[in-house]
Amino acid sequence: MIAANCFSQLFRQHRSRGNFFGEFSKVTVMNNSRLAQDTFVFRQFFDKESWTYTYLLADYVAKEAIIIDPVLEQVNRDHSILKRLGLNLLYCANTHVHADHVTGTGELKKLIPTCESIISLCSGAQADKYVKSGDEIQFGRYSVEVRQTPGHTNGCITFVCHDEAIALTGDCLLIGGCGRTDFQEGDPETLYSSVHEQIFSLPDYYKVYPAHDYTGQTVSTIGEEKTYNPRLTKSLDEFIEVMNNLNLAYPKKIEESDQLSLGSKYTLPLPIIIIMAIGAMCYLLCVAYICFGKDKIDEDKSLYAALRKQQEQSCKIQTSIVEHL
């Protein structure tokens, strides 16, 4: 038993250890499949419209998977890759509510109803599971640790997979950059301490995978970012000055993505909400029509009565004139 534990410790260290630039060897397990797969599956997908990276992490032996930051327009791509690899998607997690694209979580949940959505407790969005710092999300023999890294938004989280020495930093830490802090709940001081305390505290060889890159890069390491990131190597005051003067255009989908629902079990689908709203409007119109219609009939009745009275009176006058003559 003790020997088995020592072996598993050594195996873990061997997989994770690496140098400053994140190079580390990997054990590849050959199984009966014609496609030789590492037991740990890691895929980085790109959406060219929003410059967004989506990540798939899975245990190929247990066939359990997690998707991070899926994009609505790419749901079919993600779904067919899951099918091709025969993976069971346990979770759709989002590093935050994105201002530049709509999440594919709701659509993936429709295709795979057993999959659960995950978002930070501080995001204000709806999901099946809410997470906070220290939580672990398990898939097969692997897991990711949740670290709250607010500053770009209050609900930003970084997922760290210690088994593979990787950090999925969302929009908090980008390669040679960081998330903007000029809208939603952005705050440069908070972002600065999130990066320094929660991300830069990881070992230098951990790989950094962000939610976006606008320069064609795909991966970095903690060591590189700590040494070369032009924003995060500055002092706090200099950083705040830089962040307050980025002058970036607003993302096109900011309003659409603000209405985010991650397909929680407890929310109604949008078409049902629209039908209910139309139904309520029709009901109000009917009530208004009936009330106004009734008033009009009452009005007509009293007018008719007054006319009849007037007619009767003029008849009486005419009769008395004739009698008089």
The contact set with ligand L3IBWBLD (CB under 6 A) reads: 99-100, 171, 177, 179-180, 212, 214, 246, 248, 251
Which of helix, strand or coil describes residue 250? coil
Shortest distance in whole angstroms from residue 277 CB to ligand L3IBWBLD: 30
Shorter beta-carbon distance to ligand L3IBWBLD: residue 69 or 135: 69
Q: How far apart are CA 179 and CA 185, in angstroms?
A: 12
Shorter beta-carbon distance to ligand L3IBWBLD: residue 71 or 89: 71
Shortest distance in whole angstroms from residue 210 CB to ligand L3IBWBLD: 9
Shorter beta-carbon distance to ligand L3IBWBLD: residue 11 or 214: 214
| DSSP one-letter string for 9-58 | HHHHHHHH---TT-----PPPP-SSSS---SEEEEEEEETTTTEEEEEEE
Q: Which residue has the tokens 């199984």?
A: 31
Shorter beta-carbon distance to ligand L3IBWBLD: residue 75 or 99: 99
Short-list 31, 38, 80, 42, CA closest to 165? 42
Per DSSP, 197 falls in state I
E strands, 171-288, are 173-174, 177-178, 207-210, 220-221
Helix, strand, coil shares of the chain, percent, nearest 5, are 40, 20, 40
Q: How far apart are CA 74 and CA 87, in angstroms?
A: 17
Element (H, E) at 148: strand 142-148
Shortest distance in whole angstroms from residue 254 CB to ligand L3IBWBLD: 8
Q: 241 is written with which tokens? A: 């000055």
Shortest distance in whole angstroms from residue 276 CB to ligand L3IBWBLD: 32
Shorter beta-carbon distance to ligand L3IBWBLD: residue 246 or 273: 246
Paired residues of 119 in beta bridges:
130
Shorter beta-carbon distance to ligand L3IBWBLD: residue 155 or 179: 179
- State the chain's maximal CA–CA distance in angstroms: 136
Shorter beta-carbon distance to ligand L3IBWBLD: residue 171 or 225: 171
The amino acid sitting at 315 is: C
Shortest distance in whole angstroms from residue 290 CB to ligand L3IBWBLD: 50
Shorter beta-carbon distance to ligand L3IBWBLD: residue 24 or 46: 46
Shortest distance in whole angstroms from residue 43 CB to ligand L3IBWBLD: 21
Shortest distance in whole angstroms from residue 52 CB to ligand L3IBWBLD: 8
Shortest distance in whole angstroms from residue 25 CB to ligand L3IBWBLD: 34
Q: Which residue is nearest to ligand L3IBWBLD (CB)?
A: 180
Give the end-to-end CA distance of the chain in Å, rounded to a whole number: 133
